[in-house]
């Protein structure tokens, strides 16, 4: 299923193999398009290949992982098409973060503990745009912190002085500071409490609507994806086995594995298998209580 929006990313037949004594085909023939301003959810059980696929798209995989086939094409707003897998190292370095950025799994613990938030945001800007003045880097850093809901007064803080939710917001700010057209978010709300998760999800959706970037949102939490995604891809054993609009997938899932995933999340008021949407982004509380 292709998107009806202008495509910004095309993944075609992407395969990743871990070259161990017995080679492991972690991702096999993955294909999809990502549209401008779209949230594409990527769901599946742990170990199904979601993170491996995300790393391959951004060419962040390391040996023994090897891309065994396929294409990743980035369609720039200027009309240029970039072959991501064919980029030379210097061009790839310029491409990352400025065109396509990533919020890593466990990212809230990935900040440098001995460097201030200011320095880490400034470094991200100046590594890609070395002619940026300190004053401009400071202005841009404050702007993105405000956008993700962090008090700019905390820019001089160190990571240990921030809560888990604030650190996660800083990581999202860092991923969007160069205004990429695509952001990959790998389990961005893991280890956060439900209230903080809800706030961050609202911020992600709001920012996406305001800035019109596209998102690949990776999680094993299918109810969450049903709330925030335009379309959802289901992965099983390294393959995308179903890809459809979120509402259609919820109402009429075609693959038996997708139906099992839907049935594995009971509602607070119904029986197992009597799945209902949880209202993550709605004003009502889960289960429909007001």
Could you give phi then psi for residue 247, rounded to 5 degrees?
A: -70, -35
pLDDT tens for each residue of 48-87:
999 999 999 999 999 999 999 999 999 998 899 999 999 9
Model confidence at 266, pLDDT cuts 50, 70, 90, reads low
Preceding amide of 127 cis, omega within 30: no
List, for residues 76-131, the tens digit of each pLDDT value. Answer: 988 999 999 999 999 999 999 999 999 987 766 788 999 999 999 999 999 999 99
Residue 180 corresponds to which tokens in the numbers above?
């990429």
Look-up of token digits 């940026």: 132
State both tokens at 267: 């509602």
Give the tens place of pLDDT for each residue, 184-230. 999 887 777 888 888 888 888 999 998 899 999 999 888 889 999 99
**CA gap 285, 168 in Å, rounded:** 24
- At 14-25, the pLDDT tens digits run 999 999 999 999
* Residue 270 predicted with pLDDT over 60: no
Contact by Cβ (8 Å): 218, 187: yes
Q: Are strands 182-186 and 24-35 parallel, antiparallel or unpaired?
A: unpaired
pLDDT tier at 277 (50, 70, 90 boundaries)? very low
Given this model, what pLDDT does residue 190 score? 75
The rounded mean pLDDT for the chain is 88
DSSP, res 79: S
Domains of the chain: 1-92+182-290 (3.40.50.300), 109-179 (no CATH)
């Amino acid at each position: 299923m292709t998107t009806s929006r202008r495509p910004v990313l095309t993944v075609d037949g992407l395969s990743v193999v871990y070259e161990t004594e017995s080679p492991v085909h972690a991702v096999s023939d993955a294909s999809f398009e990502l549209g401008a301003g779209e949230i594409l959810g990527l769901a599946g059980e742990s170990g199904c290949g979601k993170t491996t696929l995300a790393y391959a798209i951004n060419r962040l995989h390391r040996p023994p992982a090897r891309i065994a086939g396929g294409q990743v094409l980035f369609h720039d707003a200027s009309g240029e098409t970039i072959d991501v897998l064919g980029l030379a190292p210097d061009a790839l370095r310029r491409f990352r973060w400025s065109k396509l950025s990533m919020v890593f799994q466990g990212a809230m613990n990935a900040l440098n503990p001995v460097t201030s938030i200011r320095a880490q945001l400034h470094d991200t800007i100046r590594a890609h745009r070395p002619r940026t003045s300190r004053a401009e880097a400071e202005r841009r850093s404050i702007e993105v912190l405000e956008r993700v809901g962090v008090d700019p007064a905390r820019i001089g803080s160190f990571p240990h002085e921030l809560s888990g939710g604030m650190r996660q917001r800083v990581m999202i700010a860092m991923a969007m500071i160069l205004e990429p057209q695509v952001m990959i978010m790998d389990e961005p709300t893991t280890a956060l409490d439900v209230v903080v998760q809800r706030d961050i999800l609202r911020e992600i959706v709001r920012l996406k609507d305001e800035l019109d970037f596209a998102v690949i949102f990776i999680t094993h939490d299918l109810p969450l994806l049903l709330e925030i995604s335009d379309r959802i891809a289901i992965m099983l054993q390294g393959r995308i086995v179903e890809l459809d609009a979120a509402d259609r997938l919820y109402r009429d899932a075609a693959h038996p594995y997708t139906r099992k995933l839907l049935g594995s999340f009971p509602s607070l008021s119904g029986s197992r298998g009597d799945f209902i949407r949880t209202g993550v982004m709605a004003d009502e509380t889960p289960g429909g209580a007001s």
